[in-house]
């Protein structure tokens, strides 16, 4: 069995190589460790290796790990689909939400973000591969949603997130990221500085096309049980 330490070393190495290949400064792409389905002990092991940002998809599971790891200085990112009846705990227990794809959810997170916390960092999830996934705002609707979400004072609109249709060819992997990067840059909002692009299977393509944050699960923690 490969240790978590060995996997982290491998992924960090791949990320450095991808940054260099893309002409990006070393360390400019943040590694988000996606720990869904993994026990708190695995997150603790990653934390001891210096990892501070963790991504979770399932609210109840995430809240449980947050309690178990309350003594750790972790930045929690919610990256899963959001039902509107779950926005209150998400607004209270996460630093980032990557999966906002409609105004109603943004509005609720804004209202429910506790006053004692800084504004919630938000990425808008964009559906860049058409029909495949149901989640995500369409590219054509993105500018209007950005306008609306940018008005909400308890949210900080930081950028865009995408989960393209899986592809094995590098050139196929790059295209949707390139399209979204260009569309987001055309909005001309410097505060939107986050491109949450890339998972275990397409890290290099994502970094090549401007990712500032990659969400890596399998390559860091091993395969998940199929769900
Ligand atoms: C599970 C998940 C990931 C990580 O995927 P891997 O292929 O295991 O790296 C990244 N982003 C989102 C939104 C996910 O749900």
Task: Please report the atom of ligand 1 found closest to the CA of residue 220.
Answer: 9
Mean pLDDT for the chain overall: 96
Q: Report pLDDT for 2.
A: 84
Q: Report pLDDT for 170.
A: 97
> Does 78 score more than 90 pLDDT?
yes
Q: How far apart are CA 95 and CA 68, in angstroms?
A: 17
Give CB contacts under 8 A, 24+ apart, made by 149-153: 149/100, 149/103, 149/106, 149/122, 149/124, 150/189, 152/106, 152/107, 152/110, 153/110, 153/119
Nearest-5° Cα angle at 108, 36 to 132:
50
If one counts the domains in the chain, the total is 1
> Does 226 score more than 80 pLDDT?
no
Q: Report pLDDT for 225.
A: 85
Residue 99 three-state SS: strand
Residues in the chain: 227
Query: Considering the domain boundaries, does residue 133 fall inside one?
Result: yes
> Does 84 score more than 60 pLDDT?
yes
Whole domain around residue 155: which residue ranges? 4-219
Query: Considering the domain boundaries, does residue 100 fall inside one?
Result: yes
| 30-59: b (≥16 Cβ within 10 Å) or e | bbbbbbbbbebebbbbbbeeebebbbbbeb
63 sits in which H/E element: helix 59-68
Query: pLDDT digits over 130-152, tens only?
Result: 666 678 999 999 999 999 999 99
What is the Cα gyration radius of the chain?
17
**What average pLDDT does the segment 48-55 reach?**
98
Torsion of CA 186, 140, 76, 83, to 10 degrees: 160
Q: Report pLDDT for 131.
A: 62
Query: What's the CATH number where 125 sits?
Result: 3.20.20.10
Query: Considering the domain boundaries, does residue 224 fall inside one?
Result: no
| pTM for the whole structure | 0.97
The protein residue with its alpha carbon nearest to ligand 1, atom 10, reads 215
The rounded Å distance from CA 167 to ligand 1 centre is: 14
Query: Considering the domain boundaries, does residue 148 fall inside one?
Result: yes
- DSSP single-letter state for residue 182: H
Query: pLDDT digits over 90-137, tens only?
Result: 999 999 999 999 999 999 999 999 999 999 999 999 998 766 667 899
Task: Please report the atom of ligand 1 found closest to the CA of residue 32.
Answer: 10
From 55, 129, 134, 222, give the residue whose CB has the most ligand 1 atoms within 8 Å, as the site to mutate: 55
> Does 188 score more than 90 pLDDT?
yes
Task: Please report the atom of ligand 1 found closest to the CA of residue 224.
Answer: 8
107 burial level (CB within 10 Å; 0-12, 13-18, 19+): middle
Query: Considering the domain boundaries, does residue 227 fall inside one?
Result: no
- DSSP single-letter state for residue 113: S
Instruction: State what percent of residues in the chain have pLDDT above 70.
Output: 97
> Does 77 score more than 70 pLDDT?
yes
Query: Considering the domain boundaries, does residue 128 fall inside one?
Result: yes
Q: How far apart are CA 142 and CA 150, in angstroms?
A: 12
Query: Considering the domain boundaries, does residue 198 fall inside one?
Result: yes
Query: Considering the domain boundaries, does residue 102 fall inside one?
Result: yes
């Amino acid at each position: 069995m490969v240790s978590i330490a060995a996997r982290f070393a491998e992924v960090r190495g791949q990320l450095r190589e991808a940054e260099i290949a893309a002409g990006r400064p070393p360390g400019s792409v943040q590694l988000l460790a996606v720990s869904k389905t993994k026990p708190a002990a695995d997150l603790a092991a990653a934390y001891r290796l210096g990892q501070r940002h963790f991504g979770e998809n399932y609210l109840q599971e995430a809240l449980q790990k947050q309690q178990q790891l309350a003594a750790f200085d972790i930045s929690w990112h919610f990256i899963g689909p959001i039902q509107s009846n779950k926005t209150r705990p998400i607004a209270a227990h996460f630093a980032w939400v990557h999966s906002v794809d409609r105004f109603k959810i943004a509005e609720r997170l804004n209202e429910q973000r506790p006053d004692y916390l800084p504004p919630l960092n938000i990425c808008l999830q964009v559906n860049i591969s058409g029909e495949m996934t149901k989640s995500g705002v369409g590219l054509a609707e993105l500018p209007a949603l950005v306008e609306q979400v940018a008005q909400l004072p308890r949210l900080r609109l930081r950028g865009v997130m995408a989960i393209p249709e899986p592809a094995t060819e590098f050139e196929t992997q790059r295209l949707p990221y390139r399209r979204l990067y260009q569309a987001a840059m055309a909005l001309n909002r410097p505060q939107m500085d986050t491109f949450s692009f890339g998972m275990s299977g397409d890290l290099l393509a994502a970094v090549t096309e401007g990712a500032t944050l990659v969400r890596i699960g399998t390559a860091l923690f091993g395969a998940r049980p199929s769900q």
